[in-house]
Structure 1
Amino acid sequence: MKINWGTGIVLAFIGFISFILFFVVRMSMDNKANHDLVTENYYKAELGYQNEIDAENNARIKEVDLSLESTDKGIKLIFPNNLNIENIKGTVSLYRPSNKHLDFDLPLSLSEDYLLIPDNRLLDGRWDIKVFWEYKGEAFLFKEKITYRQSK
């Protein structure tokens, strides 16, 4: 039996579609593929995003941006020295995009004008740092993406 052009094209389309469907079904059923959202309560976090935008703009307008400095002991998060450190309250969140089990939060309790994030809590690689803090009733936010390298 001879196969003409029309039959060959139809068979090629059926073969290609079957090939694609096989991989789609295989990947969606595979337990090794991680289909988690970035955060557990994604939609709840999305509703509070406007507060983050306002706090970030507030920090920019009031010119109270923080700075990061890498040291042998870890990362120093330096606050502006014109602020009274007893009035600063908040949290520091470190997010590891490649592994959510490495994420952690630190409360802001300052005795100096900086907070040291210890070297033993950080692994080499990409980290997203988010500092949400309040000073005299005003909310501020500092966000930074860094690539950390431990000093040897």
Structure 2
Amino acid sequence: MKINWGTGIVIAFALFMTFILYFVFQVQSNSKYDNDLVVEEYYKHDSHFQEEMARIQNAHDLQQKPSVKYSQEGVKVTFPVTYETDKIKGNILLYRPSNKKFDFEIQIALINSSLLIPKSKLIKGRWDVNMEWQYNGKSYLSKEVIYVN
């Protein structure tokens, strides 16, 4: 049986489509490849975008900003000592981009103007730290990225 150019191209194209479809089905059906949304209720989250930008701008405009640093003990969040610690309210969301199962949120409870998140709660890799807080009736949002070794 002789195969001409047209038949060869059709066979090659069909094999290529089969190859691609195999990988698409493999990724969709295998739980090893987790493809969840980054944010639950995406459109609801997006509708508050302007408010979020205002809080980020408030944090950016501060003369003395809180800092988020990684050390051997864990993640240390430090507020300037000029702030009255009992007037700071809010929470810190530690977001793991690779797997939402590791995300967690803690309330801001300062001791000597700082808060320590122990290393035992964190796994190695990238963490997005979103700190939402209020001070003297004004809302702030700080976003940092840290890498845990």
Question: Is the shorter-chain TM-score for this pair beyond 0.5, marking a shared fold?
Answer: yes
2:100 aligns with 100
Q: Which residue of structure 1 aligns with residue 122 of structure 2? A: 122
Give me the whole-angstrom Cα distance separating, in 1, the residues matched to 2:24 and 2:72. 47
The percentage of counterpart residues that share the same residue type is 43
1:90 is the counterpart of 2:90: yes
- What TM-score, normalized to structure 2? 0.85
Please state how far the C-alpha of 1:72 moved relative to its aligned partner: 4.0
Instruction: Give, in whole Å, the separation in 2 of the partners of 1:101 and 1:73.
Output: 22
Unaligned runs of 5+ in 2: none
CA contact (8 A) 1:65 1:142 kept: no
The Cα offsets for residues 64-94 of structure 1, whole Å up to 9 and x where unpaired, read as 4211234443222111222222211000111
Counterpart CA distance in 2 for 1:104 and 1:121 is 9
Aligned residue identity for 1:74: G
Q: Determine helix, strand or coil for the equivalent of 1:109.
A: coil
RMSD (Å), alpha carbons: 2.0
Name the SS for the 2:61 alignment partner. helix
Residue 91 of structure 2 aligns to a residue in which SS? strand
Choose 127-136 or 75-84, whichever is displaced more: 75-84
Q: Which residue of 2 aligns with 1:4?
A: 4
Aligned residue pair count? 149
8 Å Cα contact 2:70/2:76 also seen in 1: yes
Distance between the aligned counterparts of 2:25 and 2:73, measured in 1? 48
Aligned to 1:51: 51
